[in-house]
Structure 1
Amino acid sequence: MRANQARLDFDALRHNLAHARSLAPGARTMCVVKANGYGHGGLAIAQALEAHTDALAVACIEEALELREGGVRCPILLLEGVFAADELPLAAEHNLWVMIDNHKQLQWLEQAQLAAPITCWLKVDTGMHRLGVQPEEAEAFHSRLMACANRTGELVTCTHFASADDLSSDQTARQIELFNAITASLPGPRSAANSPGLLGWPDSHFDWIRPGYMLYGNSPFAQAHANTEALRPVMTLTSAVISLRDLAPGDSVGYAATWTAERPSRIATISIGYGDGYPRLANNGTPVLINGQRVPLVGRVSMDMITVDVTDLSEVAIGDEAILWGPQLTAGEVAGHAQTIGYELTTRMPARTPRVITAP
């Protein structure tokens, strides 16, 4: 069997959640486990978090039903709401919370024949311009939802930040100011803080926080920040050396000969590639850990293999462990070498790479 594993430390997961809650001790917590738990395994992540959170959030009803079928009973919010009217009876049957962000979704809710009413959140657009009702429509939507017989419980008004991961941008402060103005006359709880909002913008915490990326131990910021120092990566992506060879100056490695040795070089081949979730666009020099020491990626990433320059290591052998990202080499750092973000690396992790829980 190939040595590839995505090792998951659920002690780190719960530690990160405790850190999130400590940043906003007066708020309730909704853990975001969409996209298969950001690639970590949605059901296993939800089961590990359920007893420690007030609610969970997913993107769509398919993700929610998978969690319900796996025994998860806590509230689950559909962040994008429903995509068709016939999803509402399913939401009512499985006690799912539903986001309302447009006229059609509100009409479906008002006209539905449901066995039980549904808890709803109302999204307002404060500048992301992706989902949400317009600021001038918020009061009318809120009033109709409050009067809707198919709605029950608290009506949470929420928004989403466009640039909270950029601490130098003034857009988040402007969104918070607008959100405060919109909700000043609207009763009920409010929610705005995603991971970067929670970590970097304390004025955004309000009544509900929605940590996602930070739960998995990754910082959403490009620069260092005091509130990210306590985060512990949940996933460690590992593989192993499967071959070693010596190259003379002028010899090239891999498809299209994108790297050529300038000195006598020792090259190790590792049994992981873009078919296993390692980014194909990772460039020459991307760090990899062999026996805990950094070595540079050389040559183009293949579907099933990569090659690294181990010339400067005193000892390396077939079977030695390779770490592609984890606590000593963050997914964010690797992503920077592939012109992407750490979010993409973990969420695109395929089923081919087994998830192995190392700390329950």
Structure 2
Amino acid sequence: MRLATAEINLTALAHNLAQVKRFAPNSKVMAVLKANAYGHGLVKIAQHLNDADAFAVARIDEALALRAGGLTKPIVLLEGFFNKDDLPILLANNFQTIIHDEYQLAALEEAELEAPLLCWLKVNTGMHRLGIAPEQFDEFYKRLQKTPNANNTVNLMTHFACADDVNNTKTVQQISQFDCLVNNINQAHCLSNSAGIIAWPNAHGDWVRPGLMLYGVSPMANALGEQHQLKPVMRLTTRVIAVRHVPANEAVGYGGRWKSDKATQLAVVAMGYGDGYPRHAKEGTPVVIGKQRYGIVGSVAMDMISVDIGQNEHNIKVGDRVTMWGPELPVEEIAQCADTIPYELLCNITPRVSYEYQP
């Protein structure tokens, strides 16, 4: 019996990429595949994003894994490089790098490379994470134009801090600041992550970089993917491994934190924080067995969760499939029940979960 399984719907993935293109029809698409493609499987997902124009990852090992998997599209390192000795590796593998600080720029200028790299200059317009200060822009851009180690094409990028909230004026300020810096420069611009693609069409620019929305999950605050015509790519499932009768007022699970006020039945399912399910999911967090929702009870353990199925009117039995999240049970909803965000749930899937890719 296959227990914890991440079922990956590749048709839904293609649909979501097409939806990105409908949102931003005049922009090229840089598909973001960092963190194992948000928990969906780095190489396999990349192999089914043929209509993307480029890939983006956080770190060089992710980029190398894509090349080892036979992927030939341009790959952008969103954090850039961290060691000057990596520069020949970037060049040999046709990687593009972000330049976001003085260390990186100086290392690039001092390197002895056989050919130039294509660079993206990242400007901090208010995220205050990576990126040069706006007042450094002219200097950095001129130095990149001057060094023989950088291609004359220097793409320009920033990152939104609050694009998921359409009522927050921060994004308007960031767009304005970026435009003031780069509008007179004839280079490609990239501002919009998934939330920017959906909510800020005036910031689509030459490139967009969808991440979460590719996987069918809404990047917007308090929204579901279906509201943007997105389809969930992952269904996380497992099986019932026991059905137990529990008398009234008997404590269940570690710490005995849950008791039923009447006799009931529990389905024990093979899922826990050892599979990546959130340990702090609240009592009543839904799962789907058959076509019916039931609530979890007691503490989420490493390997098992108890689900209150009442008098078991639907005749749930050992071996029945349980959906922890998926098209019929949005991961956004489970994230709210665990006081976290969908990104964390998807990225926390552990290696013992089996992956099943479906056309």
Give per-residue Cα distances to partners, 1:302-359, cap 9 Å, x unaligned.
0000011101652211111100000011111101111110100111111110111012
- Quote the residue 1:123 is aligned against: 122
Distance (whole Å) between structure 2 residues aligned to residue 304 and residue 340 of structure 1: 20
Q: CA deviation at 1:228?
A: 3.8
Residues 1:18 and 2:18 are matched in the alignment: yes
- Quote the residue 1:37 is aligned against: 37
Written as runs of structure 1 = structure 2, the 5 A alignment for 1:255-270 is 255-270=254-269
Equivalent pair of 2:216/2:225 in contact (CA under 8 Å): no
Distance (whole Å) between structure 1 residues aligned to residue 250 and residue 164 of structure 2: 42
Distance (whole Å) between structure 1 residues aligned to residue 150 and residue 306 of structure 2: 56
- Quote the residue 1:75 is aligned against: 74
Q: CA deviation at 1:186?
A: 2.7
Written as runs of structure 1 = structure 2, the 5 A alignment for 1:201-240 is 201-224=200-223, 228-240=227-239
1:31 aligned partner, one-letter code? A
- Quote the residue 1:7 is aligned against: 7
Give per-residue Cα distances to partners, 1:40-62, cap 9 Å, x unaligned.
1101111111x211100000111
Distance (whole Å) between structure 2 residues aligned to residue 272 and residue 291 of structure 1: 17
Equivalent pair of 2:40/2:234 in contact (CA under 8 Å): yes
Equivalent pair of 2:268/2:306 in contact (CA under 8 Å): yes
Q: CA deviation at 1:174?
A: 1.1
Q: CA deviation at 1:231?
A: 0.4
2:31 aligned partner, one-letter code? C
Q: CA deviation at 1:182?
A: 1.5
Worse-superposed segment, 140-149 or 229-238: 140-149
TM-score (norm 1): 0.97
Give per-residue Cα distances to partners, 1:177-208, cap 9 Å, x unaligned.
11111212333111100001101111110110
1:207 aligned partner, one-letter code? D
Distance (whole Å) between structure 2 residues aligned to residue 352 and residue 224 of structure 1: 30
Worse-superposed segment, 189-198 or 151-160: 151-160
Written as runs of structure 1 = structure 2, the 5 A alignment for 1:305-316 is 305-311=304-310, 313-315=312-314, 316=316
- Quote the residue 2:330 is aligned against: 330
Distance (whole Å) between structure 1 residues aligned to residue 191 and residue 162 of structure 2: 13
1:340 aligned partner, one-letter code? T
What percent of counterpart residues are identical? 44
Equivalent pair of 2:36/2:42 in contact (CA under 8 Å): yes
Distance (whole Å) between structure 1 residues aligned to residue 329 and residue 120 of structure 2: 38
- Quote the residue 1:348 is aligned against: 348
Could you tell me which runs of 5 or more consecutive residues in structure 2 were left unpaired when the two chains were aligned: none
Q: CA deviation at 1:229?
A: 3.1
Q: CA deviation at 1:146?
A: 1.6
Could you tell me which runs of 5 or more consecutive residues in structure 1 were left unpaired when the two chains were aligned: none
Equivalent pair of 2:224/2:332 in contact (CA under 8 Å): no
Written as runs of structure 1 = structure 2, the 5 A alignment for 1:187-198 is 187-198=186-197
1:104 aligned partner, one-letter code? Y
Change (3 A) 1:47 1:197: same
Q: CA deviation at 1:116?
A: 2.0
Distance (whole Å) between structure 1 residues aligned to residue 131 and residue 227 of structure 2: 29
1:144 aligned partner, one-letter code? R
What secondary structure is seen at the aligned counterpart in 2 of 1:276?
A: coil
Distance (whole Å) between structure 2 residues aligned to residue 98 and residue 196 of structure 1: 23
Distance (whole Å) between structure 1 residues aligned to residue 107 and residue 172 of structure 2: 34
Which contiguous aligned blocks of 4+ residues in structure 1 show a shift greater than 6 angstroms? Answer: none
Change (3 A) 1:227 1:238: closer
- Quote the residue 2:291 is aligned against: 292
Distance (whole Å) between structure 1 residues aligned to residue 70 and residue 157 of structure 2: 28
Distance (whole Å) between structure 1 residues aligned to residue 166 and residue 126 of structure 2: 16
Equivalent pair of 2:213/2:225 in contact (CA under 8 Å): no
2:331 aligned partner, one-letter code? A
TM-score (norm 2): 0.97
Equivalent pair of 1:2/1:271 in contact (CA under 8 Å): no
Q: CA deviation at 1:71?
A: 0.5
Distance (whole Å) between structure 2 residues aligned to residue 74 and residue 218 of structure 1: 25
Written as runs of structure 1 = structure 2, the 5 A alignment for 1:42-81 is 42-49=42-49, 51-81=50-80
Distance (whole Å) between structure 1 residues aligned to residue 205 and residue 232 of structure 2: 27
2:157 aligned partner, one-letter code? C
Distance (whole Å) between structure 1 residues aligned to residue 311 and residue 11 of structure 2: 35
Distance (whole Å) between structure 2 residues aligned to residue 228 and residue 207 of structure 1: 25
Give per-residue Cα distances to partners, 1:10-32, cap 9 Å, x unaligned.
11111100100111111111000
What secondary structure is seen at the aligned counterpart in 2 of 1:57?
A: strand
Change (3 A) 1:348 1:331: same
Distance (whole Å) between structure 2 residues aligned to residue 268 and residue 225 of structure 1: 28
Distance (whole Å) between structure 2 residues aligned to residue 170 and residue 225 of structure 1: 22
Distance (whole Å) between structure 1 residues aligned to residue 127 and residue 227 of structure 2: 24
Distance (whole Å) between structure 2 residues aligned to residue 179 and residue 159 of structure 1: 7
